[in-house]
Amino acid sequence: MGVLRSFLWTNVASGLVVGGLIFAAYAIWHYSGAEATSRVSADVISQGRQIYADQCAACHGANLEGQPDWRSPLPSGRLPAPPHDASGHTWHHPDDVLFRIVKEGTAAIVGGGYESDMPGFGDVLSDPEIRAVLSYIKSTWPERERGYQESVSDAN
């Protein structure tokens, strides 16, 4: 009986150690991943700022302010370019929607014959460049808007 008890305790203890190591590895992976996604490097934000200036500012404004009266349709029936600062609605959308809008264009995402002057940039920008632009835009938002946008992104 002593040998069996010793054998069982050795295996239980080994299982606890291995289980603990697996949990610790998972916790490190999970929480470092969350840190990495919430803290974008200054280099990525700087790259995004430059891409924004080159590709987006002509319509959305050098300071992310959008076009005047962006909620009122133009004579064409299309809406002006919205702001990407906290006064706009960009921060209401999850990351996957924002990415697709930049890559495919607003009309492709909205569908149903919706017309927009926002083209897709999938042929102009790589996926990492699109993410850099979005990281730059998000870096300008106050904490409340960033927090809200992160929560809707996490919910998806």
Average pLDDT by stretches of 10, the chain with 156 residues: 50 44 38 46 97 98 97 96 97 97 96 95 98 98 97 91
pLDDT for 43 equals: 97
Residue 9 structure tokens: 């305790």
* Domains of the chain, residue spans: 1-39, 41-155
Residue 94 structure tokens: 């999850």
pLDDT for 36 equals: 39
pLDDT for 23 equals: 40
Nearest to 80, CA basis, from 93, 69, 64, 65: 69
pLDDT for 6 equals: 53
pLDDT for 40 equals: 84
Homologous superfamily of 41-155 in CATH? Cytochrome c-like domain (1.10.760.10)
pLDDT for 3 equals: 52
